[in-house]
Chain A
Amino acid sequence: MSDISNELPITTGCLMRQLWRLYKLFFKIGLFTFGGGYAMLPLLQDELVRKRKWLSEEELLDLYSIGQCTPGIISINVATFVGYQQAGIRGAVFTTMGMITPSILIITLIAAVLYKYMYNRYVTYAFDGIRVCVVALILDILYGLWKKNVTDKKAAVIFAGALGLLAVFNLSAVILVILAGAVGWFWHGKVQQ
């Protein structure tokens, strides 16, 4: 997709329309993200992998690992990356703006006027209901990711080791990603030699 847009001459109108589409897409993703970057995964999988096929499932995972050890919050990193792939630097700016617009609108509204309603009983019921569903959505995605990425013994060892380090030592995600990368490089590199 990015290759095509680089090679073909694009008229300004066409580019504007594409940027607007990117903005709208990430506005929607930002609007329906409840929680951190991980809660966003089901939405990204649905919109970017399944519907638009801009990324493969592996590429989406790679974006999460990159986001985990680069500055800034993961959701913005993913938005920037996808925008850049689709339409260069302008694309990156538009996806990021799309992602932060719902936050700015909603949080400003809450901070300014709706503050006292946030602890309203019914608002809490709705958010608690959403949270249960977020867990189900993440678990469903995980099943697919696990089947695709934990395919051999080595991967299973890394998966189990990572889970153990997280549960027992509360290891930071940055260190975990770097460590797993080193293991992968060492392990898979050795086999090929």
Chain B
Amino acid sequence: MVLARKGSAMIYVILFLEFFKVGLFAIGGGLVTLPFLFDLSEQYAWFSTKELADMVAISESTPGPIGVNMATYAGYHAAGLWGGIIATLGLVTPSVIVIVLLARLLDRYKLNQNVQNILSGIRPAVVALILFAGLEIAKMAIVDLKTVIMLAVWLMMIHFWKRSPIFYLILAAVVGLVFQV
């Protein structure tokens, strides 16, 4: 893997192709990309497993989708600023191609009865998926009495005082700092 060394121009091509592959085969949420990144860390000397663990922790807590964050982080470690940009572009390219093709199909078959039947089965299952994902986040976030009370207060505020989620998120950062959860 001489070509994939830092400083070589070929590294950008390889980064793009490798992350294109990740984007194509990682089906589902952002953390699904993790095993692929693990393989990359073994195949190339771009980043260590320890660095990968840091990447996950930081990608989870910083703004932006986890999968995109991890691609930028890994690309940056492999080849600096442009490495981060190119790895991220590689990751999203398959999505753009597949979804554009699918959007055309869906527009055409949206009113098809079979498609409607299938979707009516999927919708309640996706509600369950979202609940499950919410509970996973809750397991990390709701850890003591203080956080339980905060959750209850947020729920009431969100329900009765309908403001934009961005407003609550900014307020939540301040509340976190003040009450030191």
Contacts and interface: CB of A to CB of B under 8 A. Distances in A.
Interface of B: 23-33, 57-69, 72-73, 76-77, 81, 84-85, 88-89, 91-92, 94-96, 98-100, 102-103, 106-107, 113-114, 116-134, 137-138, 140-142, 147, 150-151, 154-155, 158-159, 164-166, 168-169, 171-177, 179-181
B91 A61 contact: no
B127 to A, nearest CB: 5
A169 interface: no
A137 B126 contact: no
B177 A125 contact: yes
A93 B96 CA distance: 7
A48 to B, nearest CB: 12
Contact of B94 (A64, A71, A81, A107): A71
Contact of A138 (B100, B116, B130, B172): B130
Contacts of B151: 132, 135-136
- Contact residues on A (Cβ < 8 Å of other chain), bracket: 35 or more
A188 B68 contact: no
A54 to B, nearest CB: 13
A118 B57 CA distance: 9
A13 interface: no
B121 A185 contact: yes
A184 B117 contact: yes
Contacts of A32: 63, 165-166, 169
B63 A163 contact: no
Nearest to B175: A129
29 contacts: A33-B65, A46-B165, A61-B127, A62-B119, A64-B126, A70-B99, A71-B23, A71-B24, A73-B28, A73-B95, A84-B99, A85-B103, A92-B100, A96-B95, A100-B72, A103-B88, A104-B85, A111-B77, A126-B174, A130-B172, A133-B171, A134-B169, A163-B131, A177-B129, A180-B122, A180-B125, A181-B119, A188-B116, A188-B120
Given A112-B76, A125-B176, A173-B29, A166 B142 contact: no
Interface in A48-86: 58, 61-62, 64-66, 68-77, 80-81, 84-85
Contact of A43 (B31, B131, B166, B180): B166
Contacts of A34: 61-63, 169
Contacts, number: 358
A119 B19 CA distance: 28
A11 interface: no
Given A137-B168, A173-B129, A77 B61 contact: no
A76 B92 contact: yes
Given A73-B67, A138-B130, A142-B127, A65 B119 contact: yes
Contacts of B166: 28, 32, 43
B152 to A, nearest CB: 9
Contact of B121 (A64, A174, A181, A192): A181
A169 B169 CA distance: 33
B32 to A, nearest CB: 8
B176 A35 contact: no
A44 B92 CA distance: 19
A30 B64 contact: yes
B181 A184 contact: no
